[in-house]
Structure 1
Amino acid sequence: MKPRKIAFTILMLVFGLLAARPVLAQPEKGADKTLSPYFFVKSDNPETDRMPLKSTSAKVNVSGVIADVVITQVYKNEGKKPIEAIYVFPASTRAAVYGMKMTIGERIITAKIRDRQRARREYQQAKQEGKSASLLEQQRPNVFQMNVANILPEDVIKVELKYTELLVPTDAVYEFVYPTVVGPRYVGQSSEQTGAAEKWTSNPYLHKGESAPYSFDMKMELAAGLPIQDISCATHNVNIRYNGSNFASIQLNPSETRGGNRDFILKYRLSGGKIETGLLLSRGEKENFFLLMLQPPKRIKEFQIPPRDYMFIVDVSGSMNGFPLNISKKLLKDLIGHLRPSDRFNVLLFAGGSTVMAEQSLPATRQNITHAINVIERQRGGGGTRLLPALKKALSMQGTEGYSRNLVIITDGYVSVEKEAFDLIRNNLGRANMFTFGIGSSVNRHLIEGMARVGMGEPLIVTRPEEAQTKAAKFRKLIESPVLTGIKVDFDKFNAYDIEPLSIPDVMAQRPVLLFGKWRGEPQGNIVVRGIAGDCSYRKKINVVKIKPSKTNTALRYLWARHRIAILSDYNRLSPDGERTKEVTSLGLTYNLLTQYTSFVAIDTQVRVIDGQAQTVKQPLPLPQGVSDYAV
């Protein structure tokens, strides 16, 4: 080969290697800046404290099926200049955030609920006037942003927020999930294209393996209402103390001080596999609320199961590189390896683009199963996460006639197209059941759970490799057949209204039938639930007269409103409507709840910064445990 041709070949190889290297996104300059996460760059300049969040902790009180949570965030400015701290953090997808307060020294300022634009205006004005202030906004139903303005050097400011949520058991197992860190979100568009709503995604991250720069703590008091059989926490090392048969105290072990890089997940069971069921009533000054939790019947027999057609949609993008993709491979081996001979299946892999294993579903023969597993094993993870085109491709492919079609999505959810994904799935309801597997230690639960909810399916979260086999078995058990279908509810002389949900979807697992609502007058009459379990009729009657309203059920007002807001928001994503927006805003203001359109703002009365403006600092976040630098 001639020297010139050799030099040209080497040059092309170098360019190819450079193009193949992962791009570690840094904040870009200029008007066309692309919104993306970036790596935190440490500075030796002592003037500005770039890690102002010093600790975050949670105190959880569980009474029966309702959890009440108090989160405390402590900010301290160890620099020499006033700062504004911005901290993006996750919360449960079911959280009803109903209160916030800010403490500066001896002064306690209770936050007020405002419509979003007014809250931000009041915050910005206070910031410009030199007053300390805090602003809590919802960026997603499970992603919040805290702004704390004018933190003086050596200042310690505590911000406390409160939320409540309902704990719904599956297969008699209760699960409390406390998300700790927001994983990096891929947008791939400029701020001019997306507007202000997506700017939170441009956030600094530490490198893989670097500990959270703030401490983490968790304390939990559990009053189960019935004897507790066992308690477990596989994500963190905890100390458990039983206080009688129905009560327990759970505290994070001191060794877990830097454990804020993965979701805290605690599970417990009641003795004999029982679950808390029945009717809860709450009487208020203006409105009364109820919650019905009813245990479904046992599953139908295996011979009644129809043949299945599966499409496995697998995320092989950069954020799945390493630990998450290894879990996915183990999970898929189990799922595909246990298909029945009567089943059919296909595999669609996606990252920046997508590829499908076959143009149509294949029989679940040993040869086809082996081929599919080999295809999956060859994946290494790289590129962006283009979920929408993959979903569109999967939905456009024809299923097998006479088969029950099921789409199984396996991803960490590190994208910011939740609304578009929900719309696409809702617009295709009836074409397939939707099941989602969230893979990783801190997945985007809003996307994972939301896709399953709008698709009338079920979400499953796999946080560790050893869970893959158990979750795969749970999926198989789940999909065998709906536990209860054709559910109807009648109110006999019980004056109920504003009921959620308006229609109850098929129950796909051993979990209670849930019904929220309001009631007028006196608690009387009956609630009758009917349905079909396999080839048998199901009927359950609840005598309301026997149930007494309790002051301990005041959280029902928040839970009802939160559920109503979630339903309205889902519809608004499908078809934006000004009236629905007004209704969500009104619900937030009336029930003192954080929503997409309402925010909490707390403003100090004292002017504390006289000269100049505080420097804005975005709190860097640790990468979720097991997520590589390829995600950024």
Structure 2
Amino acid sequence: MLSPALTTAYKYGEADRPLNVVLLSDGLTEQQERRTLLELIRTRPRNAKVFCVGVGNDVNRPLLEQLAQDAGGLSAFISRGDDFTRQAQALRRKLTRPAATDLQIDFAGVKVSDLEPKVLPNLYHGAPVRIYGRYQGSGEAQVTVRGSINGVELKKTAPLEFPKQDPANPEIDRMWAWRRIDGLLKDADRSGSRDAVISEVVRLGEGYSIVTEYTSFIVLENDAEYQRWKIARNNVLRTGRDRQSQEIVRAQLDNIRNKAMASLGPQPEPAAINSGQASPAPGVRAPVAPPAPQPTAPAERGGRSFDFGHGSGPVGPLFLGLLLWARRVRRKAA
């Protein structure tokens, strides 16, 4: 039971400091408790955030993601083969570093609609925020992101190109449709009934070839079977376009892989440029002519160099002192 755990954790909240609740669970619970958990998240203390960590290979991922998203936190998932210590350290870094809250995004230059998610989550260290939507128009637009970090205003503006068509990435519209379906179902679960969104979920699932709780794929042997059972193949063109795009991406990856493989191992030496002289045979060193003697400058005569610096030359201060003393001795003797 997760509800008693959340209720107990809320008791540690204080008005003058934030409360971070980390929930470790597989999220497997009854439908009735699901509604209770969503209500507990909605009525949580104002300064409380809930972070969900799904543990195990059988996890109710949608529920844990929704709990964390609605509570302003993050969700992470650890299976049996993962490094638990590494995942724990990554989560700790996100908890101990400031996050950008109250995010808003504006578009200038194109008309944007049907954004998912409708309410942007908090931006944590090392955790990007992905936004999906539809737009009208094309060309360059200015995208502005606003938020707050520990009470300090955050504002970033960057140009972004919106193409009229993008046949190289046909999966983007399907990603938007999947996020749209996910958002509709989560909103319905918050209200307690899915009746109002089922028809839209079915329409998106059939239109974008997405498996949902209300749609599924069916494979028949040939076209005659589809006609026999009166099943419209609405995604024939979409499937062909997706496969063509996948082939292009696969060819690009193969090209990159082949270039990388070609650069491994010993490389052939570059061909020598023919300059009219025979190159020496491999393993035999060509004779090297001795360097020509360089003319030397004639020695200067009639001059003597003295270094009166710090005694580093051939005649230092000590030698000069001895020379003067010897001259005085000779004069006295004379």
Q: TM-score range by the shorter chain?
A: 0.5 to 0.7
Change in Cα spacing, 1:430 to 1:389, as seen in structure 2 (3 Å) is closer
Aligned residue identity for 2:93: K
Rg larger for: 2
Counterpart-to-counterpart distance in 2, 1:518 and 1:401: 41
Contact 2:138 2:163 in 1 (8 A): no
Aligned residue identity for 1:579: A
Change in Cα spacing, 1:541 to 1:471, as seen in structure 2 (3 Å) is same
Change in Cα spacing, 1:430 to 1:549, as seen in structure 2 (3 Å) is farther
Which of 415, 424, 428 is equivalent to 2:43?
428
Contact 1:487 1:530 in 2 (8 A): yes
Contact 1:526 1:544 in 2 (8 A): yes
Contact 2:57 2:80 in 1 (8 A): yes
Structure 1: 4+ residue segments shifted above 6 A? none
Residue 587, structure 1, aligned to residue 201, structure 2:
no
Change in Cα spacing, 1:447 to 1:498, as seen in structure 2 (3 Å) is closer
Q: CA RMSD in A?
A: 3.1
Counterpart-to-counterpart distance in 1, 2:162 and 2:210: 32
**What is the CA-CA distance between 1:426 and the residue it aligns to?**
4.0
Contact 1:422 1:454 in 2 (8 A): no
Counterpart-to-counterpart distance in 2, 1:580 and 1:465: 37
User: Which residue is 1:400 aligned to?
Assistant: 14
User: Which residue is 1:543 aligned to?
Assistant: 159
Q: TM-score, normalised by structure 1?
A: 0.32
Q: TM-score, normalised by structure 2?
A: 0.57
Change in Cα spacing, 1:601 to 1:545, as seen in structure 2 (3 Å) is closer
Aligned length: 221
Counterpart-to-counterpart distance in 2, 1:426 and 1:408: 13
Change in Cα spacing, 1:462 to 1:529, as seen in structure 2 (3 Å) is same
Three-state SS of the structure 1 residue aligned to 2:158 is strand
In structure 2, the gaps of 5 or more residues are: 226-334
Higher helix share: 2
Counterpart-to-counterpart distance in 1, 2:3 and 2:123: 27
Q: Describe the superposition over 1:407-459 as per-residue Cα deviations: whole angstroms up to 9, x where unpaired.
A: 22112334354843652344325542111222234544334333322322112
Counterpart-to-counterpart distance in 2, 1:452 and 1:504: 13
Higher strand share: 1
User: Which residue is 1:452 aligned to?
Assistant: 68
Counterpart-to-counterpart distance in 1, 2:107 and 2:183: 22
User: Which residue is 1:209 aligned to?
Assistant: none
**What is the CA-CA distance between 1:507 and the residue it aligns to?**
1.0
Which of 497, 521, 525 is equivalent to 2:137?
521
Counterpart-to-counterpart distance in 1, 2:162 and 2:135: 15
Higher relative contact order (CA 8 A, sep 6+): 1
User: Which residue is 1:387 aligned to?
Assistant: 2
User: Which residue is 1:571 aligned to?
Assistant: 187
Residue 462, structure 1, aligned to residue 78, structure 2:
yes
Q: Describe the superposition over 1:214-266 as per-residue Cα deviations: whole angstroms up to 9, x where unpaired.
A: xxxxxxxxxxxxxxxxxxxxxxxxxxxxxxxxxxxxxxxxxxxxxxxxxxxxx
Residue 599, structure 1, aligned to residue 216, structure 2:
yes
Contact 1:421 1:451 in 2 (8 A): no
Residue 502, structure 1, aligned to residue 118, structure 2:
yes
User: Which residue is 1:476 aligned to?
Assistant: 92
Aligned residue identity for 1:555: E
Q: Describe the superposition over 1:484-540 as per-residue Cα deviations: whole angstroms up to 9, x where unpaired.
A: 222221111212111222221221232223221111122343222222234543332
Contact 2:12 2:19 in 1 (8 A): no
- Counting only pairs closer than 5 Å after superposition, residues 223-372 of structure 1 correspond to structure 2 as none
Aligned residue identity for 2:200: E
Q: Describe the superposition over 1:312-346 as per-residue Cα deviations: whole angstroms up to 9, x where unpaired.
A: xxxxxxxxxxxxxxxxxxxxxxxxxxxxxxxxxxx
Contact 1:491 1:526 in 2 (8 A): yes
Contact 2:141 2:162 in 1 (8 A): no
State percent identity of aligned pairs: 27
In structure 1, the gaps of 5 or more residues are: 1-385, 608-632
Moved more, 489-498 or 520-529: 520-529
Three-state SS of the structure 2 residue aligned to 1:596 is coil
Change in Cα spacing, 1:545 to 1:464, as seen in structure 2 (3 Å) is closer
Counterpart-to-counterpart distance in 2, 1:551 and 1:591: 16
Three-state SS of the structure 1 residue aligned to 2:154 is strand
Aligned residue identity for 2:19: R
Counterpart-to-counterpart distance in 2, 1:465 and 1:522: 45
User: Which residue is 1:409 aligned to?
Assistant: 23
**What is the CA-CA distance between 1:589 and the residue it aligns to?**
2.5
